[in-house]
Amino acid sequence: MKPVFKSPYVIDLHQIPEALKTLDKPVESLSKLQEALGKYHEHERSSFPPFYFVGDGYLLEILGNSKEIFLMLKHLKKMFTGLSTLTIDQDLTRIENMCYREGEEIPF
């Protein structure tokens, strides 16, 4: 692998013996990881259908930062049409209401 790092040009890889075989293993691992992540996303979406309204990158951000309420707000607006804002408790740890543009509030 050291010769691969010496040249920043991809075109030079064909001159390095065994470079392609060496790089095949990480590519295969990444493909398996991507497939597993896709299955995980599908599982999460089937358990909570509003997740179907956000892309994979956003879903990963939502699942990875589920305790960050303000970060979640921008994604919640994609999942719940008409959502305006959230009412949050003073400790900033719990969502109390979902507030819609029409003035409706849904308490939790």
Q: Is residue 10 part of a domain?
A: no
In which order are the strands placed within the sheet that holds 95-100?
83-88, 95-100, 105-107
Q: Is residue 60 part of a domain?
A: yes
pLDDT of residue 45: 97
Task: Answer yes or no: is pLDDT of 108 > 80.
Answer: yes
Q: Is residue 11 part of a domain?
A: no
By mean pLDDT, which of 1-5, 63-67, 81-85, 103-107 is the weakest? 1-5
pLDDT of residue 63: 92
CATH number of the domain bearing residue 77: 3.20.180.20
pLDDT of residue 60: 93
Residues 58 and 78 in one domain: no
Higher pLDDT, 77 or 38: 38
pTM of the model: 0.69
Residues 99 and 77 in one domain: yes
Residues 89 and 101 in one domain: yes
Q: What is the pLDDT of residues 57-77, one digit of tens each?
A: 999 999 998 888 888 888 888
Residues 44 and 29 in one domain: yes
Q: Is residue 6 part of a domain?
A: no
pLDDT of residue 56: 94
Task: Answer yes or no: is pLDDT of 13 > 90.
Answer: no
Q: How many domains does the chain have?
A: 2
Backbone angles phi, psi at 99, to 5 degrees: -110, 130
Domain assignment of residue 55, given as a range: 19-64
Report how far Cα 81 is from the mean position of its chain's Cα atoms. Answer: 20
